[in-house]
Amino acid sequence: MKLSTFLGGVHPPENKHLSKDYPIKKAPLPEKVLVFMQQHAGSPAKSVVNKGDKVKTGQVIGEPTGFISSYVHSPVTGTVVDVKKVTNVIFGKAVEVVEIQREGEDEWELLPHGNYEDFSNEELVEIIKKAGIVGLGGAMFPTYVKLMPPKDKKIDYLVINGAECEPYLTIDHRMMLERQEDILIGIEIVKKILGIKNVAIGIEDNKMDVINLLQNKWKGKINVIPLKTKYPQGAEKQLIYATTGRKVPRGKLPMDVGVVVLNVSTLYAIKEAVIDGKPLVERGLTVTGEAVNKPGNWWVRIGTPISWVIENLGGGFKENVENVKVLMGGPMMGIPINNIDTPLVKGNNGITTLIPKEQKSTFCIRCSYCVNVCPMGLQPYLLDLLGKKKRYDEAVEIGLLDCIECGSCTYICPAKIEHVKTIKLAKKVYKALRGGKK
């Protein structure tokens, strides 16, 4: 079998065996949810409920405040007990949060729905927008924006991200095994909206069961492309290159080469919104890692506190665990939380618990491993050096802003230098400085 891939990349231990054989189970409803008004790229939503309000499952509780912004819905039926601002590690700033006490079972407030062919394209985009669907692979970019590209950008290809290259995570794997028919409906909806025929799905070859299944079931409809198992195979630009051979130019977007990329879970959410009228209030999630008793895959409400997830779904932390890292996402790009009651957001494809090991960084020995693994063809050691010396303009010249922050350089470094940390900081500072000048 010929496997598509990209240049560079690393092979961290996969550890997918912990959870990959556990079918997705529906989680019980949590007693309390905390819903962030920012669960997406762009400007945050504004809460439209007050303390004491009764809300139904699926009811809008936050409205978008700009073009790139998204609706937020109540994940349970109950009473709003608080609307407050909380500093959150995901966004690095104080974000409005709506706290809801659940009362009884779900009473749904649904969107207009039915056979997707009966809706016009504009109506379909509106439903997807009203459903609050954002990229569920982790990027959390509002999906409806991708589905209405500017007139001058001719889209002719839908690339589906089924790579799931992050170690530990298995939810996309399970989704493709268990719910591939719903995903296919999601694909048909997107094809209709974009008016395109070409669809490719890239899946890493550590999921041969899915590849075989889909190549069989989707034969003639969708190009199922086996990818080499390598991190970051699921990064947008790398995935587009591996599946279509197209290279997104520096500083450009997938739509500049006629491509829209969507994650399998996002397509599933599109189907749920259009066919069933369900806004995005729940999603699939992998609960895994060295520090929990029962790794598995779950269908969970957004806003559920992570402490509840670990206790009730992950079987609690293992005994004798003294220090633990709890990550939203996988070990390569996941965000560590500093408060165990932090709630799930739409982009959470996994909660990974790790027992941290101490790593002392030493001097760069110029081994060139970081240069060899960089999927963007950058020189991480040099960006790190320039970043530390605050020579941002030079760093930008050699590609600071092209870094996709995958962390391969830091992963591979024998001297344990945190290149990607320096690079992220340098990017932020550079953007702030440049913004200040304008």
293 interacts with other proteins by CB under 8 A: no
Strands 32-36 and 93-102: antiparallel
Interface residue with other proteins, options 367, 388, 429, 431 (CB under 8 A): 367
Question: Closer to other proteins at the Cβ: 225 or 332?
Answer: 332
396 interacts with other proteins by CB under 8 A: no
Question: Closer to other proteins at the Cβ: 261 or 337?
Answer: 337
Q: Give dist(CA 254, CA 157) in Å, integer.
A: 10
Positions in 213-232 near other proteins (CB under 8 A):
none
Interface residue with other proteins, options 66, 92, 114, 377 (CB under 8 A): 377
67 interacts with other proteins by CB under 8 A: no
Size of the site for other proteins (CB under 8 A): 67
237 interacts with other proteins by CB under 8 A: yes
356 interacts with other proteins by CB under 8 A: yes
Sheet holding 60-63, edge to edge: 46-47, 60-63, 72-73
245 interacts with other proteins by CB under 8 A: no
Q: Give the single-character DSSP code of 202.
A: E
**Residue 17, token pair as written in the block:** 């065996």
Amino acid (1-letter code) at residue 399: G
HEC sequence for 205-264: CCCHHHHHHHHHHCCCCCEEEEECCCECCCCHHHHHHHHHCCCCCCCCCHHHHCEEEEEH
Question: Closer to other proteins at the Cβ: 67 or 363?
Answer: 363
Question: Closer to other proteins at the Cβ: 86 or 371?
Answer: 371
Question: Closer to other proteins at the Cβ: 132 or 343?
Answer: 343
Q: How many Å is the Cα radius of gyration of the chain? A: 21
Q: Give dist(CA 255, CA 272) in Å, integer.
A: 25
Give the three-class secondary structure for 78.
Answer: strand
Sheet holding 198-204, edge to edge: 223-227, 198-204, 157-161, 259-263
The binding site for [4Fe-4S] cluster consists of 364, 367, 370, 374, 403, 406, 409, 413
Please report, as ranges, the residues that interact with other proteins according to CB under 8 A. 6-7, 10, 12-13, 89, 167, 237, 241, 247-250, 252, 317, 321-327, 331-340, 352, 354, 356-357, 359, 362-368, 371, 375-379, 381-382, 398-399, 402, 405, 407, 410-416, 418, 420-421
